[in-house]
Amino acid sequence: MSEYEVICVEYAGAKFSITTFGGHLLTYIPPNQSSDILWCSSCHKKDMSKSIRGGVPVCFPQFGHVHDKISPQHGWARLQKWTLLESTERSVTMTITSAENQKPGRPDGGMWPANEGCPYRARLTLTVSLTDLGALSYVMKIKNESSVSMPYQMLFHNYFSVHAEAEDFGVSGLSGYEAIDTQPRGREGMGMDYGTQGEGKIVVDGEVDRIFHGKGPVLASIARGGGEGEISVEVTAEPAKNVSCVVWNPYVEKAKGMGDFDDDGWKGMICVEPGLIDGLQMLVGGEEQILKQVIKFSK
Protein backbone atom coordinates (compact mmCIF):
# COMPACT_ATOMS: atom_id res chain seq x y z
CA MET A 1 0.00 0.00 0.00
CA SER A 2 1.43 3.38 -0.99
CA GLU A 3 2.01 6.36 1.26
CA TYR A 4 -0.94 8.64 1.94
CA GLU A 5 -1.80 11.74 -0.10
CA VAL A 6 -0.84 15.04 1.56
CA ILE A 7 -2.39 18.45 0.82
CA CYS A 8 -0.49 21.60 1.84
CA VAL A 9 -1.99 25.05 2.41
CA GLU A 10 -0.16 28.35 3.00
CA TYR A 11 -2.05 31.54 3.85
CA ALA A 12 -1.55 34.68 5.98
CA GLY A 13 2.01 33.60 6.77
CA ALA A 14 0.89 30.27 8.24
CA LYS A 15 1.00 26.72 6.86
CA PHE A 16 -0.70 23.39 7.46
CA SER A 17 -0.69 19.97 5.85
CA ILE A 18 -3.43 17.34 5.95
CA THR A 19 -3.94 13.89 4.48
CA THR A 20 -7.04 12.16 3.11
CA PHE A 21 -6.07 9.11 5.19
CA GLY A 22 -8.09 9.58 8.35
CA GLY A 23 -8.75 13.26 7.57
CA HIS A 24 -5.57 13.64 9.59
CA LEU A 25 -3.98 17.04 10.19
CA LEU A 26 -0.21 16.49 10.06
CA THR A 27 1.41 19.89 10.60
CA TYR A 28 0.64 23.48 11.55
CA ILE A 29 3.24 26.25 11.40
CA PRO A 30 1.92 29.59 12.73
CA PRO A 31 2.86 32.97 11.22
CA ASN A 32 6.42 34.15 11.79
CA GLN A 33 7.48 30.69 12.96
CA SER A 34 9.85 28.28 11.24
CA SER A 35 8.84 25.11 13.08
CA ASP A 36 5.74 22.97 13.49
CA ILE A 37 3.85 23.27 16.79
CA LEU A 38 2.27 19.84 16.30
CA TRP A 39 4.26 16.74 17.24
CA CYS A 40 4.56 13.59 15.16
CA SER A 41 6.50 10.44 15.95
CA SER A 42 9.45 9.80 13.65
CA CYS A 43 8.63 6.08 13.55
CA HIS A 44 4.91 6.13 12.76
CA LYS A 45 3.82 4.01 9.82
CA LYS A 46 3.21 5.78 6.50
CA ASP A 47 1.63 2.88 4.61
CA MET A 48 -1.92 3.37 6.00
CA SER A 49 -1.75 0.04 7.85
CA LYS A 50 -2.59 1.85 11.11
CA SER A 51 -3.39 5.34 12.32
CA ILE A 52 -0.77 8.09 12.28
CA ARG A 53 0.94 8.73 15.63
CA GLY A 54 0.89 12.51 15.98
CA GLY A 55 -0.69 15.61 14.49
CA VAL A 56 -4.45 15.68 15.03
CA PRO A 57 -6.26 12.34 14.65
CA VAL A 58 -10.07 12.43 14.47
CA CYS A 59 -11.79 10.17 17.02
CA PHE A 60 -15.29 8.99 16.00
CA PRO A 61 -17.67 7.33 16.84
CA GLN A 62 -15.86 6.59 20.09
CA PHE A 63 -12.96 7.63 22.27
CA GLY A 64 -10.93 4.69 23.54
CA HIS A 65 -12.92 1.45 23.75
CA VAL A 66 -16.51 2.18 24.72
CA HIS A 67 -18.20 -1.17 24.10
CA ASP A 68 -15.60 -3.87 23.46
CA LYS A 69 -12.02 -4.60 22.45
CA ILE A 70 -13.08 -5.69 18.96
CA SER A 71 -13.95 -2.17 17.85
CA PRO A 72 -10.95 -0.08 16.75
CA GLN A 73 -9.63 2.12 19.53
CA HIS A 74 -10.84 5.71 19.05
CA GLY A 75 -13.19 4.57 16.27
CA TRP A 76 -12.86 4.05 12.54
CA ALA A 77 -12.77 7.64 11.20
CA ARG A 78 -8.98 7.96 11.61
CA LEU A 79 -8.37 4.64 9.82
CA GLN A 80 -10.22 5.24 6.55
CA LYS A 81 -9.62 7.28 3.40
CA TRP A 82 -11.72 10.44 3.26
CA THR A 83 -13.06 12.06 0.09
CA LEU A 84 -11.66 15.50 -0.76
CA LEU A 85 -14.54 17.91 -1.43
CA GLU A 86 -12.70 21.21 -1.84
CA SER A 87 -9.26 22.74 -1.55
CA THR A 88 -8.87 26.55 -1.63
CA GLU A 89 -6.02 28.94 -0.95
CA ARG A 90 -6.82 28.86 2.77
CA SER A 91 -8.86 25.71 3.48
CA VAL A 92 -9.43 22.00 2.86
CA THR A 93 -12.78 20.19 3.20
CA MET A 94 -13.19 16.39 3.33
CA THR A 95 -16.00 13.96 4.04
CA ILE A 96 -16.63 10.30 4.85
CA THR A 97 -19.70 8.19 5.65
CA SER A 98 -20.09 5.24 7.97
CA ALA A 99 -21.38 3.23 4.99
CA GLU A 100 -17.88 3.44 3.47
CA ASN A 101 -16.56 1.57 6.51
CA GLN A 102 -19.07 -1.27 6.67
CA LYS A 103 -17.58 -4.74 6.76
CA PRO A 104 -19.17 -8.21 6.62
CA GLY A 105 -20.33 -9.32 10.07
CA ARG A 106 -19.95 -5.81 11.47
CA PRO A 107 -22.28 -3.60 9.44
CA ASP A 108 -22.00 -0.72 11.87
CA GLY A 109 -18.31 -0.15 11.14
CA GLY A 110 -17.06 -0.28 14.71
CA MET A 111 -18.46 0.94 18.00
CA TRP A 112 -22.14 0.51 17.24
CA PRO A 113 -23.71 -2.91 18.04
CA ALA A 114 -22.81 -5.49 15.42
CA ASN A 115 -26.36 -6.49 14.64
CA GLU A 116 -27.39 -7.40 11.12
CA GLY A 117 -28.92 -4.34 9.51
CA CYS A 118 -27.45 -1.79 11.93
CA PRO A 119 -29.71 1.31 11.71
CA TYR A 120 -27.04 3.98 12.19
CA ARG A 121 -25.68 6.00 9.26
CA ALA A 122 -23.39 8.97 9.82
CA ARG A 123 -21.71 11.49 7.56
CA LEU A 124 -18.61 13.32 8.80
CA THR A 125 -17.41 16.54 7.19
CA LEU A 126 -14.32 18.41 8.30
CA THR A 127 -12.98 21.77 7.22
CA VAL A 128 -9.50 22.93 8.20
CA SER A 129 -8.67 26.55 7.41
CA LEU A 130 -6.38 29.45 8.23
CA THR A 131 -7.86 32.72 9.50
CA ASP A 132 -6.74 36.17 8.31
CA LEU A 133 -4.37 36.25 11.30
CA GLY A 134 -3.01 32.77 10.60
CA ALA A 135 -4.78 30.90 13.39
CA LEU A 136 -5.91 27.35 12.63
CA SER A 137 -9.64 26.61 12.51
CA TYR A 138 -10.74 22.97 12.57
CA VAL A 139 -14.46 22.23 12.21
CA MET A 140 -15.92 18.71 12.34
CA LYS A 141 -19.61 18.20 11.54
CA ILE A 142 -21.47 14.97 12.20
CA LYS A 143 -24.83 14.37 10.51
CA ASN A 144 -27.06 11.48 11.52
CA GLU A 145 -28.40 10.30 8.15
CA SER A 146 -30.53 7.57 9.73
CA SER A 147 -34.05 7.86 11.11
CA VAL A 148 -33.19 6.81 14.68
CA SER A 149 -31.13 8.44 17.42
CA MET A 150 -27.45 7.55 17.15
CA PRO A 151 -24.95 7.05 20.02
CA TYR A 152 -21.51 8.56 19.46
CA GLN A 153 -18.48 10.36 20.83
CA MET A 154 -16.17 12.77 18.96
CA LEU A 155 -12.77 14.24 19.86
CA PHE A 156 -9.72 16.05 18.47
CA HIS A 157 -6.67 14.02 19.58
CA ASN A 158 -4.17 16.93 19.43
CA TYR A 159 -0.45 16.18 19.77
CA PHE A 160 1.48 19.38 20.53
CA SER A 161 5.22 19.94 20.33
CA VAL A 162 6.61 21.02 23.73
CA HIS A 163 9.56 20.71 26.09
CA ALA A 164 7.88 18.55 28.73
CA GLU A 165 10.87 18.59 31.10
CA ALA A 166 11.29 22.39 31.11
CA GLU A 167 10.38 24.28 34.26
CA ASP A 168 8.23 26.74 32.32
CA PHE A 169 6.18 23.99 30.62
CA GLY A 170 2.60 23.34 31.70
CA VAL A 171 -1.05 23.01 30.71
CA SER A 172 -3.53 25.42 32.28
CA GLY A 173 -7.11 26.56 31.85
CA LEU A 174 -8.80 23.47 33.28
CA SER A 175 -9.12 24.57 36.90
CA GLY A 176 -12.50 23.76 38.42
CA TYR A 177 -13.13 20.86 36.05
CA GLU A 178 -14.10 17.44 37.36
CA ALA A 179 -10.82 15.51 37.04
CA ILE A 180 -10.44 11.78 36.56
CA ASP A 181 -6.84 10.58 36.94
CA THR A 182 -6.33 7.12 35.43
CA GLN A 183 -2.75 7.04 36.77
CA PRO A 184 -3.07 7.93 40.48
CA ARG A 185 0.35 8.23 42.09
CA GLY A 186 1.15 5.47 44.56
CA ARG A 187 -2.08 3.58 43.87
CA GLU A 188 -1.04 1.19 41.09
CA GLY A 189 -3.77 -1.28 40.27
CA MET A 190 -6.27 0.44 42.58
CA GLY A 191 -8.41 2.17 39.96
CA MET A 192 -8.86 5.87 39.24
CA ASP A 193 -8.80 9.01 41.35
CA TYR A 194 -11.65 11.53 41.13
CA GLY A 195 -11.56 15.14 42.21
CA THR A 196 -11.56 18.76 41.07
CA GLN A 197 -8.65 20.27 39.16
CA GLY A 198 -6.96 23.01 41.17
CA GLU A 199 -5.35 26.25 40.03
CA GLY A 200 -1.91 24.77 39.39
CA LYS A 201 -0.68 23.88 35.94
CA ILE A 202 -0.52 20.28 34.73
CA VAL A 203 3.06 19.05 34.33
CA VAL A 204 4.73 15.81 33.27
CA ASP A 205 6.24 14.19 36.37
CA GLY A 206 5.21 10.65 35.45
CA GLU A 207 2.67 9.10 33.10
CA VAL A 208 -0.18 11.59 32.61
CA ASP A 209 -3.62 10.32 31.61
CA ARG A 210 -6.36 12.58 32.94
CA ILE A 211 -9.89 13.29 31.79
CA PHE A 212 -11.50 16.65 32.58
CA HIS A 213 -15.25 17.25 32.41
CA GLY A 214 -16.45 20.84 32.55
CA LYS A 215 -19.44 23.00 31.75
CA GLY A 216 -19.53 24.57 28.30
CA PRO A 217 -16.56 25.24 25.96
CA VAL A 218 -12.89 24.42 26.58
CA LEU A 219 -10.17 27.10 26.60
CA ALA A 220 -6.83 25.52 27.45
CA SER A 221 -3.33 26.99 27.29
CA ILE A 222 -0.05 25.15 26.81
CA ALA A 223 3.18 26.87 27.82
CA ARG A 224 5.57 25.00 25.49
CA GLY A 225 8.58 25.37 27.76
CA GLY A 226 12.07 26.57 26.94
CA GLY A 227 10.73 30.06 26.29
CA GLU A 228 9.11 28.87 23.07
CA GLY A 229 5.76 30.54 23.44
CA GLU A 230 2.22 29.49 24.26
CA ILE A 231 -0.49 27.60 22.41
CA SER A 232 -4.17 28.28 23.08
CA VAL A 233 -6.89 25.76 22.25
CA GLU A 234 -10.52 26.91 22.19
CA VAL A 235 -13.25 24.37 21.46
CA THR A 236 -16.99 24.95 21.21
CA ALA A 237 -19.92 22.72 20.29
CA GLU A 238 -22.96 23.66 18.17
CA PRO A 239 -25.63 22.98 19.40
CA ALA A 240 -24.03 23.80 22.75
CA LYS A 241 -22.73 20.88 24.79
CA ASN A 242 -20.25 20.43 27.62
CA VAL A 243 -16.83 19.85 26.09
CA SER A 244 -14.42 17.56 27.95
CA CYS A 245 -10.63 17.47 27.63
CA VAL A 246 -8.02 14.73 27.98
CA VAL A 247 -4.37 15.45 28.83
CA TRP A 248 -1.93 12.63 28.04
CA ASN A 249 1.80 11.91 28.06
CA PRO A 250 3.07 8.29 28.17
CA TYR A 251 6.30 9.10 30.05
CA VAL A 252 9.33 6.78 29.96
CA GLU A 253 8.20 3.15 30.18
CA LYS A 254 5.00 3.40 28.19
CA ALA A 255 6.77 5.30 25.40
CA LYS A 256 9.31 2.49 25.13
CA GLY A 257 6.52 -0.07 24.90
CA MET A 258 4.83 1.49 21.85
CA GLY A 259 6.22 0.43 18.50
CA ASP A 260 5.22 3.63 16.69
CA PHE A 261 6.46 6.00 19.42
CA ASP A 262 10.03 7.28 19.81
CA ASP A 263 11.59 6.02 23.06
CA ASP A 264 12.30 9.57 24.22
CA GLY A 265 9.39 11.13 22.32
CA TRP A 266 7.52 11.84 25.57
CA LYS A 267 9.97 14.67 26.25
CA GLY A 268 8.77 16.59 23.20
CA MET A 269 4.99 16.19 23.28
CA ILE A 270 1.76 16.64 25.17
CA CYS A 271 -1.71 15.62 24.08
CA VAL A 272 -4.50 18.07 24.88
CA GLU A 273 -7.63 16.47 23.47
CA PRO A 274 -10.99 18.27 23.61
CA GLY A 275 -14.20 16.48 22.67
CA LEU A 276 -17.68 15.24 23.49
CA ILE A 277 -16.83 12.21 25.63
CA ASP A 278 -18.68 12.66 28.92
CA GLY A 279 -20.60 9.44 28.41
CA LEU A 280 -22.24 8.42 25.15
CA GLN A 281 -23.81 11.34 23.28
CA MET A 282 -27.06 10.94 21.35
CA LEU A 283 -27.84 12.55 18.00
CA VAL A 284 -31.43 12.53 16.75
CA GLY A 285 -32.05 11.21 13.24
CA GLY A 286 -31.51 13.89 10.58
CA GLU A 287 -29.76 16.30 12.95
CA GLU A 288 -26.17 17.58 13.07
CA GLN A 289 -23.53 18.17 15.72
CA ILE A 290 -20.56 20.48 15.16
CA LEU A 291 -17.32 20.62 17.12
CA LYS A 292 -15.09 23.61 16.35
CA GLN A 293 -11.49 24.03 17.42
CA VAL A 294 -9.32 27.15 17.05
CA ILE A 295 -5.57 26.86 17.70
CA LYS A 296 -3.52 30.02 18.21
CA PHE A 297 0.15 30.58 18.98
CA SER A 298 1.81 33.49 20.77
CA LYS A 299 5.50 33.96 21.37
Q: Which three-class secondary structure string do you get for the chain? A: CCCCCEEEEEECCEEEEEECECCEEEEEECCCCCCCCECECCCCCCCCCCCCCECECEECCCCCCCCCCCCCCCCCHHHCECEEEEECCCEEEEEEEHHHHCECCECCCCCCCCCCCCCCCEEEEEEEEECCCCCEEEEEEEEECCCCCEEEEEEECEEEECCCCCCCEEEECCCCCEEEECCCCCCCCCCCEEEECCCCCECCCCCEEEEEECCCCEEEEEEECCCCCEEEEEEEEECCCCCEEEEEECHHHHHHCCCCCCCCHHHHEEEEEEEEEEEEEEECCCCEEEEEEEEEEEC
What pLDDT sits at residue 100?
62
299 residues of the chain, pLDDT tens digit each: 356 789 999 999 999 999 999 999 999 999 999 999 999 998 766 666 668 899 999 999 888 765 555 566 778 888 889 999 999 999 999 999 886 655 544 444 455 554 456 778 899 999 999 999 999 999 999 999 999 999 899 999 999 999 999 999 999 999 999 999 987 654 444 456 778 898 899 999 999 999 999 999 999 999 999 999 999 999 999 999 999 999 999 999 999 999 889 999 999 999 999 999 999 899 999 999 999 999 999 99
- Find all residues with CB under 8 Å of 278, minimum gap 6, and list them: 213, 242, 244
What pLDDT sits at residue 153?
93
Q: How many CB atoms lie within 10 A of CB 100?
A: 14
293 is in an annotated binding site: no
| Distance of alpha carbon 134 from alpha carbon 53, whole angstroms | 25
What pLDDT sits at residue 298?
97
pLDDT digits (tens, 9 = 90+) for 69-110: 556 677 888 888 999 999 999 999 999 988 665 554 444 445
- Find all residues with CB under 8 Å of 142, minimum gap 6, and list them: 60, 122, 123, 124, 152, 154, 283, 288, 289, 290
| Distance of alpha carbon 175 from alpha carbon 202, whole angstroms | 10
Q: Which residues are catalytic?
A: 157, 273
What pLDDT sits at residue 104?
44
Q: How many CB atoms lie within 10 A of CB 63?
A: 22
CA neighbor of 214 nearest in space, from 289, 277, 259: 277
R_g (Cα) of the chain, nearest Å: 19
What pLDDT sits at residue 130?
98
73 is in an annotated binding site: yes
Q: Point out which residues pair with 210 in neighbouring strands.
A: 181, 247
53 is in an annotated binding site: yes
Looking at domain 6-170+200-298, which CATH architecture does it have? Answer: Distorted Sandwich (2.70)
